[in-house]
Structure 1
């Protein structure tokens, strides 16, 4: 185990408080846009600690602030608060009390960590050379919450933003921080192939959309292998194919659904263009009509090099060992914030036997104080750097 996995805070019950919060959240998961109880619980914990709530119009989720007593720049920390429609199979004593809903991605851990950071920053409030905006974001699992926060104005004036995600394949005490792409752009697609129905015994009277769909599934696999360079990366996966209602009827329509994952914006555009060309070509070859609909997901999470270096410094102060993480093809709507302001998303080690979204997913709670300390340190480090000569506006000579 690397780093200081058993870090203790001067407040004797601080670690226990964070664990208690995480378990309370875990027992009461709420899906995207339904996080009303979660929001009120967060509000109560912040009020108990004397952390002020900011006035930004959000239906669920909330924004709080620490510092700002002496003016100065503004930076932000973000955690997601929603759960997944998964039936929990952990057997934990604090398992979900709501059947079919579970914190199977660790957002309860993220929320507890940001609350811990809020408590730390409140203690240091008089020394903070600026304001830390604490964003408890709803609806990450639907990739909609970040845009709701942006629409509320909560990122107005923010110079840098930091977030994290638990990572079960990293040991407690490690944190994955890297400049550049960390998580993929995640787009969905729906393809409708329109043919002519017929009796299954008279296929010559039909335009069979199932045959066209089968050829299209195979043809789509050539897009990445023959259009994306070996040093780049993309994934095209067809995950659903539906057609027909009877064994003796050739249907009129077949539907394919799936996902495109990519890390480079240019690759993302190229693959989408080639996808539509291939779909039109295959459909035409079989005499079928085709309609391609894209479900726009978040762009890739791309970390700012300058702030990645600052994040590594903050991690070291928290007793964490920074490592180079393997980029994840999963999507994360933190990327929408990075379109507006530079920022860093990190992977915090929470060693566990199951990946995100598994019904038996769990985290090692010893990582909670480490995550909270890292977030607080990242905010403080960013404020200190922004208040140095020549950096008050966030303009940096060495920003890529």
Structure 2
């Protein structure tokens, strides 16, 4: 284990090259065919057996030289429908309108180098390491599909990493307990009765219904949810009306709900339906609500997260462990935690001098590649230590 840091340091140029290649060739959710092929070819060269999942993704397995349990390491692979604004980087996306704007290119690169490192010390591994190269995290369906295809079968513990631009390079965060919120989507369709703008008394104005709902639905959180149980309700899209002198007949609103508590999640859904129906009734219209459950909350196993804290301090220094609040962002890593204990860590890549503090999903997004080594080593150290300590 003492040689792991040196081994990964020696592979740093390869690590950066893999990340930059993947960055320049982004593929959207469920379209990661070439990325999957690249990962497969790399694993072939390492002699690590794997199987492909449908339609994209890979599950690989490295059996150690000593018997033991199984730990899984996960990286996601998909990109976003984001236009890359920066033109000052040689590895800029080759496909306009598609971009690795969330760091999944880095995750895949780090896990490949971790697999290479672990394959070189496999005789010392006390158990089995499973590598999960997951598609479609950005649409919150990849992890669930892989679970359905058996990715968590026989897994005793699971660990994942997300590169994080809001944390300084060199830092690691791994909350004990809640880390990421559940992320749901709702759509409300109001129907009024269209008419001439000059004769509002003959119509039912969908603009009024939608506006009243948009203003008042915020009180679901501020007045019906315990303030000690955090939640966010955001309406991000509203479509209403067709012309300046036509009273709108239809209005469509779309939004998202984020929270950490299952009871709060159910309550907010119920209240959205109640508010929509009551507001529509007040104006004489009707409402239809479609509520879709997305990712669940990521609640890190305390023992697993404590291992990450200890490894961070031991291998990267006492100041490397970063403590902060959970994020209201969503992560489908939660579906793995339904099957086995584990945790999800954030590895910092924010560096003002290198202009890498842009928000995830922004067209300027980039990472400080000095953080890649930390992520790769953390994957390796977590697998080795968890297996050796849980015989």
Question: Which deviates further from its counterpart, 90-99 or 243-252?
Answer: 243-252
Instruction: Give the 3 Å change call, closer, same or farther, for CA 254–34 of structure 1 in structure 2.
Output: same
Task: Using the TM superposition, give the Cα deviation of residue 143 of structure 1 relative to its aligned residue in structure 2, in angstroms.
Answer: 0.6
Decide whether the 8 Å contact of 2:296 with 2:335 is kept in 1: yes
Q: 1:86 aligns with which of 65, 82, 87?
A: 82
Task: Using the TM superposition, give the Cα deviation of residue 385 of structure 1 relative to its aligned residue in structure 2, in angstroms.
Answer: 2.4
SS in 1 for 2:308: helix
- Show the counterpart of 1:15: 12
Task: Using the TM superposition, give the Cα deviation of residue 144 of structure 1 relative to its aligned residue in structure 2, in angstroms.
Answer: 0.9
Task: Using the TM superposition, give the Cα deviation of residue 258 of structure 1 relative to its aligned residue in structure 2, in angstroms.
Answer: 0.9
Runs of 4+ off more than 4 Å: none
Decide whether the 8 Å contact of 2:182 with 2:297 is kept in 1: yes
Alignment pair present for 1:281 and 2:285:
no
Task: Using the TM superposition, give the Cα deviation of residue 368 of structure 1 relative to its aligned residue in structure 2, in angstroms.
Answer: 0.8
- Show the counterpart of 2:359: 355
- Show the counterpart of 1:377: 381
Task: Using the TM superposition, give the Cα deviation of residue 8 of structure 1 relative to its aligned residue in structure 2, in angstroms.
Answer: 5.4
For 1:229-253, what per-residue CA distance to the aligned partner results, in whole angstroms no more than 9, with x for missing partners? 2222111111111112111211221
Q: 2:179 aligns with which of 173, 178, 182?
A: 182
Alignment pair present for 1:57 and 2:57:
no
Instruction: Give the 3 Å change call, closer, same or farther, for CA 156–204 of structure 1 in structure 2.
Output: same
- Show the counterpart of 2:216: 219
The alignment's TM-score, normalised by the length of structure 1, stands at: 0.92
SS in 2 for 1:165: strand
Distance of 1:216 and 1:159 partners within structure 2: 46
Task: Using the TM superposition, give the Cα deviation of residue 146 of structure 1 relative to its aligned residue in structure 2, in angstroms.
Answer: 0.3
Distance of 1:66 and 1:373 partners within structure 2: 17
SS in 2 for 1:9: helix
Decide whether the 8 Å contact of 1:237 with 1:258 is kept in 2: yes
For 1:102-127, what per-residue CA distance to the aligned partner results, in whole angstroms no more than 9, with x for missing partners? 10001001111111111121112111
Task: Using the TM superposition, give the Cα deviation of residue 317 of structure 1 relative to its aligned residue in structure 2, in angstroms.
Answer: 4.1
Task: Using the TM superposition, give the Cα deviation of residue 71 of structure 1 relative to its aligned residue in structure 2, in angstroms.
Answer: 3.4
Q: 1:67 aligns with which of 63, 67, 72?
A: 63
Distance of 2:308 and 2:376 partners within structure 1: 13
Alignment pair present for 1:113 and 2:117:
no
For 1:271-299, what per-residue CA distance to the aligned partner results, in whole angstroms no more than 9, with x for missing partners? 11111111111111111110000122101
- Show the counterpart of 1:131: 128
Structure 1 runs not aligned, ≥5 long: 1-6, 388-400
Distance of 1:383 and 1:179 partners within structure 2: 20
Question: Which deviates further from its counterpart, 212-221 or 39-48?
Answer: 39-48
Q: How does 1:142-291 map to 2 (within 5 A)?
A: 142-291=139-288
Decide whether the 8 Å contact of 2:159 with 2:342 is kept in 1: yes
Decide whether the 8 Å contact of 2:8 with 2:113 is kept in 1: no
Instruction: Give the 3 Å change call, closer, same or farther, for CA 316–44 of structure 1 in structure 2.
Output: farther
Distance of 2:53 and 2:219 partners within structure 1: 46
Distance of 1:10 and 1:340 partners within structure 2: 32
Kindly report the root-mean-square deviation, in angstroms, between the aligned alpha carbons of the 2 structures. 1.5
- Show the counterpart of 1:391: none
SS in 1 for 2:328: coil
Task: Using the TM superposition, give the Cα deviation of residue 21 of structure 1 relative to its aligned residue in structure 2, in angstroms.
Answer: 0.5
For 1:113-156, what per-residue CA distance to the aligned partner results, in whole angstroms no more than 9, with x for missing partners? 11111112111211111111000000101111101110110110
- Show the counterpart of 1:330: 329
Distance of 1:65 and 1:376 partners within structure 2: 14
Question: Which deviates further from its counterpart, 57-66 or 108-117?
Answer: 57-66
Question: Which deviates further from its counterpart, 316-325 or 221-230?
Answer: 316-325
- Show the counterpart of 1:395: none
Distance of 1:326 and 1:261 partners within structure 2: 15
Distance of 1:61 and 1:325 partners within structure 2: 32
SS in 1 for 2:156: strand
Structure 2 runs not aligned, ≥5 long: 351-355
SS in 1 for 2:360: coil
SS in 2 for 1:330: coil
Question: Which deviates further from its counterpart, 55-64 or 156-165?
Answer: 55-64
Decide whether the 8 Å contact of 2:240 with 2:248 is kept in 1: yes
Distance of 2:7 and 2:128 partners within structure 1: 23
Decide whether the 8 Å contact of 2:5 with 2:377 is kept in 1: no
